[in-house]
Structure 1
Amino acid sequence: MGRNTRKRRMPLAAKAVAASAALALGGGGLIWANFYASADESDSNAAGTQAQAVSAQVATISCPDVGQSLTSVPDQARVEVDGELATLDQQITDAYQRLATTRDAQGKDASFVQNSILQPLKDRRKVILDRITLEINRAGGKAPTDMDALAGCTGTPASGTTDAGQGDAGQSDDGQQDGGQQDDQNNGGQDDGGGQDDGQQVIGGQAGNGPVAADFVDITKVQRNVAAKPRKNRNASTGTFTTRCGVNANGNHNTDNVIVAPGVANGAHHLHDYVGNQKIDAFAGNDTFLDGGTSCQNKDDLSAYYWPVVRVQDGTQDFDQDADGGGKEGNAGRILKPVQAQIKYVGSPTGKVVAMPQFLRIITGDAKTTTNGLANANAHWSCTGFENKVQLTEQYPICPRGSQMVRTFAFQSCWDGQNTDSANHRTHVAFADGAGNCPSGFKAIPQLTMRLVYNVPRPSVQDGVVKNAYAVDGFPEQLHKAHTDHDDFIAVTKGNLANKIANCLNSGRACK
Structure 2
Amino acid sequence: MGNERRLLTLAICLVLGGGLIAAVLGASRAAGPHAGAADGRPVASDYVDIRDVLRLPAAAPAPGSEGSAGSMVVDCGRNEQGHYNEDNLVVSPGLLGGAHHTHAYVGNLSTDALSTEASLDAAATSCAGGDRSTYYWPVLRRPDRPGTRPHEDSAGHGNVGEIVPESSVLVEFRGNPVSKVVPMPRFLRAMTGDAVAYTAADESDVRARWGCSGSPDRATTRYPRCPAGERVTRTLVFPSCWNGLDTVGVTHRSHLLFTAANGVCPKDTFPVPELRVSLAYEIPPGLNVALDSFPEQRHSPKTDHAMFVNAMTDRQMAAVVDCINEGRVCRT
- CA–CA separation in structure 1 for the residues paired with 2:148 and 2:206: 28
The residue number in structure 2 matching 1:297 is 128
Q: Is the 8 A contact 1:358 1:492 kept in 2?
A: yes
Q: Is the radius of gyration larger for structure 1 or structure 2?
A: 2
1:313 alignment partner, one of 121, 143, 152: 143
Unaligned runs of 5+ in 2: 1-18
The residue number in structure 2 matching 1:349 is 177
Q: 1:331–1:231: structure 2 CA closer, same or farther, 3 Å change rule? A: same
The residue number in structure 2 matching 1:375 is 204
The residue number in structure 1 matching 2:100 is 269
2:85 alignment partner, one of 228, 231, 254: 254
Q: Is the 8 A contact 1:230 1:434 kept in 2?
A: no
- CA–CA separation in structure 2 for the residues paired with 1:233 and 1:448: 20
Q: How does 1:447-462 map to 2 (within 5 A)?
A: 447-459=274-286
> Deviations for 1:13-51, whole angstroms, at most 9, x for unmatched residues?
xxxxxxxxxxxxxxxxxxxxxxxxxxxxxxxxxxxxxxx
> Deviations for 1:416-458, whole angstroms, at most 9, x for unmatched residues?
0010011110010001101100001000000001111100122
Q: Is the 8 A contact 2:41 2:299 kept in 1?
A: yes
Q: 1:317–1:236: structure 2 CA closer, same or farther, 3 Å change rule? A: same
The residue number in structure 2 matching 1:437 is 264
Q: 1:159–1:257: structure 2 CA closer, same or farther, 3 Å change rule? A: closer
1:403 Cα offset (Å):
1.0
Q: 1:401–1:274: structure 2 CA closer, same or farther, 3 Å change rule? A: same
Q: Which has the higher helix share?
A: 1
- CA–CA separation in structure 2 for the residues paired with 1:244 and 1:383: 22
The residue number in structure 2 matching 1:286 is 117
TM-score w.r.t. the length of structure 2 is: 0.89
Residue 120 of structure 2 aligns to a residue whose secondary structure is helix
Query: Greater relative contact order: 1 or 2 (C-alpha under 8 angstroms, separation 6 or more)?
Result: 2
Q: Is the 8 A contact 1:318 1:335 kept in 2?
A: no
The residue number in structure 1 matching 2:238 is 411
1:110 Cα offset (Å):
6.7
- CA–CA separation in structure 2 for the residues paired with 1:155 and 1:255: 31
Q: How does 1:46-445 map to 2 (within 5 A)?
A: 156-160=29-33, 201-203=35-37, 207-299=38-130, 301-320=131-150, 323-325=153-155, 328-372=156-200, 373-388=202-217, 390-393=218-221, 395-445=222-272
Say yes or no: does 1:481 pair with 2:300: yes
**What amino acid does structure 1 have at the position aligned with 2:205?**
N
**What amino acid does structure 2 have at the position aligned with 1:293?**
A
Q: 1:322–1:342: structure 2 CA closer, same or farther, 3 Å change rule? A: closer
Unaligned runs of 5+ in 1: 1-106, 115-153, 162-200, 460-467
**What amino acid does structure 2 have at the position aligned with 1:450?**
V
**What amino acid does structure 1 have at the position aligned with 2:142?**
V
Pairs aligned (count): 312
> Deviations for 1:317-344, whole angstroms, at most 9, x for unmatched residues?
232488442xx21111110111110111
1:405 Cα offset (Å):
0.4
> Deviations for 1:265-316, whole angstroms, at most 9, x for unmatched residues?
11101101111001111111111110121100001x1100001110112133
Q: Is the 8 A contact 1:237 1:349 kept in 2?
A: yes
Identity of aligned residues (%): 37
